Amino acid sequence: MKVGFIGLGNMGGPMAANLAAAGHTVTGFDLAAPCPEGVTAATSGAEAASGADVVITMLPNGAILRAVAAEIHPAMAAGAVHLDCSTVDVDSARAVADAAQTAGLSAVDAPVSGGVGGAAGGTLTFMAGGSEEAFAKVSPLFDVMGQKAVHCGDAGAGQAAKICNNMILGITMIGTCEAFALADKLGLDRQKMFDVVSTSSGYSWSMNAYCPAPGVGPNSPADNGYQPGFAADLMLKDLRLSQQAAEAVDADTPMGQAATALYERFVEAEDGAGKDFSAMLPRFEKRGRG
């Protein structure tokens, strides 16, 4: 396939490289990041998009996505698909899908789970929103960049699934960290705590696969000085998107709200910026109830 790829950062760079390595013709553009091996550099987003069957965007936020969409849609060939893999607000995903339709194109919103490791290894999970036809057209690209793609529904459904998943993740990570800190103070050995909880009803991905306690459970960022991994800053971004969405549809999400406030404090007023999101555990260790 002829693929345009806009946004070649930590995630987009390796995703574009994997598509090129699999034999697709990839033309890329980024304002700052270099073009990975096998990808032809364009001098603008419109140039990267022109003549492509599918144009992928992997950008920081919804405002940038909307601006890039306005630039590239007029340059795209009739019937081409705009596949956005960024994590953005549901409204931006739907606005971009509407704009694509007006321009005679189709759109798929397909945010990812799996982080930089998944992007490099081609093992991402995609959660996609858009028509059956557009989903089918981009599926061969999902097969290269990831190990699983779930078609969640119409435009915006991929972003909805992503922010709901990550709201759960933020909440369970905080719960896991505060439970470890409580267990410490109760004199419970961390390994015993893991052995019990990981096979009992308190288990979760945060405990079992990404344990925030160093030296316990499978290897995780806790074993590497809390280097991300999945940065607390990105968790805060996703939690904020969940709260923006909850506000828009009048959904009651008290735990999501509390998790957002806690990560906000951790990243903006404490020492959480640049650390993995599981570094909530040393944060709780230092504190009492006051």
State the nearest-atom distance from the C-beta of 202 to ligand NAD, in Å: 26
The residue among 151, 186, 156, 173 whose CA lies nearest residue 232 is: 173
- Is residue 116 near ligand NAD by the rule CB under 6 A? yes
**Catalytic residue check, 162:** yes
Is residue 30 involved in binding ligand NAD (CB under 6 A)? yes
Residue 64 found at the interface with ligand NAD (CB under 6 A): yes
What is the spatial distance between Cα 229 and Cα 108, in angstroms, rounded to a whole number? 27
CB 245 within 8 A of CB 89: yes
**36 part of the interface to ligand NAD, by CB under 6 A:** no
Task: From the candidates 2, 137, 148, 162, give the one annotated as an active-site residue.
Answer: 162
CB 108 within 8 A of CB 138: yes
Q: CB nearest ligand NAD: which residue?
A: 9
Angle (deg, nearest 10), helices 254-268 and 157-185: 70
Interface residue with ligand NAD among 20, 46, 49, 58 (CB under 6 A) is 58
Question: Judging by beta carbons within 10 Å of its beta carbon (0-12, 13-18, 19+), is residue 215 exposed, middle or buried?
Answer: exposed
| Span near ligand NAD by CB under 6 A; candidates 8-16, 141-149, 213-221, 261-269 | 8-16
Site residues for ligand NAD, window 195-234 (CB under 6 A)?
230, 234
Q: In the complex, what is the shortest distance from the CB of residue 142 to ligand NAD, in angstroms, rounded to a whole number?
A: 15
Q: Tell me which of 33, 77, 99, 258 binds ligand NAD, using CB under 6 A.
A: 33
Residue 171 as a binder of ligand NAD (CB under 6 A): the answer is no
Contact pattern for ligand NAD over residues 134 through 163, marking x by CB under 6 A: ------------------------------
- Total binding residues for ligand NAD by CB under 6 A? 26
CB 142 within 8 A of CB 149: yes
Nearer to ligand NAD, 29 or 142 (CB): 29
CA-nearest of 37, 60, 35 to 47 is: 35
Q: Alpha carbon of 110 to those of 56, 122, 139, 288: distances in Å? A: 10, 15, 11, 41
What gap in Å lies between CA 175 and CA 223, rounded to an integer?
A: 19
- The strand pairing partners of 41, in sequence order, are 28
Q: Which residue of 18, 50, 87, 242 would you call a contact of ligand NAD, by CB under 6 A?
A: 87
Interface residue with ligand NAD, options 3, 39, 55, 59 (CB under 6 A): 59
45 touching ligand NAD, by CB under 6 A: yes
Structural tokens at position 243: 């709260």
Question: Rounded to the nearest 10 degrees, how much is the dihedral formed by the CA atoms of 151, 81, 143, 132?
Answer: 30
Q: What is the DSSP pairing of strand 112-113 with strand 124-129?
A: antiparallel
Task: Examine residue 173 and tell whether it contacts ligand NAD (CB under 6 A).
Answer: no
Which residues of this protein are in contact with ligand NAD, per CB under 6 A? 6-12, 29-33, 45, 58-60, 64, 68, 86-87, 112, 115-116, 230, 234, 237
Q: Cite the active site residues.
A: 162
